[in-house]
Amino acid sequence: MTQEGLGNHVGYSKSQVAMVERGERSPRGQFVEIADQVLGAQGALLVVAETEFKKDGLPPWTEDYLVEEKKAAALHVYQTNLIPGSLQTEAYSRAVFSSNRCPTLDDEEIEKRVASRQERQQLYTRKPAPTVSYVLEESVLTRPLGGKDTLKEQLHHILAIGELRHVEVQVMPHDRQDHAGLAGRMSLLETADRHRLAYVEGHKGGYFVSEQPDVGNLFSKYGILQAQALTPEDSATLIEKVAREL
């Protein structure tokens, strides 16, 4: 059966079936059960899914984003509230998920999500190396999630990642009187063929922006944010100062 044919049975597109087949995306809903029945696998696919796909409890919109981040040729992130997930240390991630409420996550679920977040660190070592940049609000550097020791470790981690040749970290200072990012955080991605995507997430979910002029406007907005923020060198100096004073 073709990928398109299976997709018709499970309600997936051909490309979505292909991503599951390559292990790039976890099957959702009744995908495995229907595929096992349609393909006459007699339970074999159920066993494979149980062992190969982690039950990390991530929301569907987050999973869709991570698929794109994993293969992006470029990633640019503006964050207002906390250290971006792809920059987080294990202890900081645990503090973030422990702070979440409504619903409150149990210990097992927290550890699954922490492990999933740590896997994103492959962004910095995979080849070819993607172009990565961050613009972080200064307040993010001082919010002591997990306590001062956790924050200090996190700041040192940011400094280490920022030294990589393909990564730039900039800080947006408190005293900016003109600010292009007041509408909130965003993640911008470029695919290997330089197709541009923007991702925006809120309390009720996340969504991709891929149509012009909207995606072009967000990339332009990010360019202005980079111009308004401190240089990478001055940003590193500020991060070092904050860490030293903890």
Interval 66-100: pLDDT, tens: 889 999 999 999 999 999 999 999 999 999 999 98
Range ranked top by mean pLDDT from 33-37, 114-118, 166-170, 204-208? 166-170
DSSP-derived letter for residue 85 is G
Interval 101-143: pLDDT, tens: 888 999 999 999 999 999 999 999 999 999 999 999 999 999 9
pLDDT (mean) for 145-171? 98
Place of tokens 């400094």: 159
Task: Report the distance separating Cα 186 and Cα 173, nearest Å.
Answer: 18
Domain residues of the chain, as ranges?
Answer: 3-52, 60-245
Nearest to 139 by CA among 86, 83, 181: 83
Phi then psi dihedrals of residue 231, to 5 deg? -65, 160
Place of tokens 């679920």: 109
Task: Report the distance separating Cα 233 and Cα 219, nearest Å.
Answer: 23
Report the CATH fold assignment for 60-245: Endonuclease; Chain A (3.30.870)
